[in-house]
Amino acid sequence: MNKKYPRQVLINIEKYFEKEREHLKKRLSQIEEADPFNDPDHANDNADIGVDIREEMAHQQSQANRGQVVRRLEEIDEVLVRIDNGSYGFCKSCKRMIDTDRLSTNPLVTLCIDCAKK
């Protein structure tokens, strides 16, 4: 790695991802709150089959949404680590700088265009 991204650019990117991280954490709490399986009375209500099916579908949707948010949080955590250790913006494979247009299109990208094509 011969070059580095300007610190001011990295600071702005870091602030963006920290804000996004906080937003996703709130979203994760909302998803978990809305999951009918997290209701302590869920198992005791002796509901009819239609209610049980709706609760099961809502639970499955909550789980799918939770998985998406958790994966996004993991990606953001990885970006924050890469910013901190100076490897953000460099290809994980060939270690060259990733084109800034590519990064601006997807700031989570970890491979340069050449390595991504392989």
Task: In whole angstroms, give the CA distance from residue 114 to residue 91.
Answer: 10
Number of domains in the chain: 1
pLDDT at 37: 82
pLDDT at 55: 83
Task: In whole angstroms, give the CA distance from residue 76 to residue 16.
Answer: 10
Which tens digit of pLDDT belongs to each residue from 12-21?
A: 999 999 999 9
In a domain, 115, yes or no: no
Give the predicted TM-score (pTM) of the model.
0.79
Task: In whole angstroms, give the CA distance from residue 40 to residue 96.
Answer: 52
User: Which residues have CB under 8 Å from 42's CB, separation 6+?
Assistant: 36, 55
In a domain, 108, yes or no: no
In a domain, 110, yes or no: no
User: Which residues have CB under 8 Å from 65's CB, separation 6+?
Assistant: 31
Q: 47 — phi, psi (to 5°)? A: -70, 165
Range of the domain at 54: 7-87
| 118 residues of the chain, pLDDT tens digit each | 457 778 888 899 999 999 999 999 999 999 999 888 887 665 565 567 777 788 889 889 999 999 999 999 999 999 999 999 989 999 999 999 999 899 989 999 999 999 999 8
With beta carbons less than 8 A apart as the criterion, state whether 28 and 64 touch.
no
In a domain, 92, yes or no: no
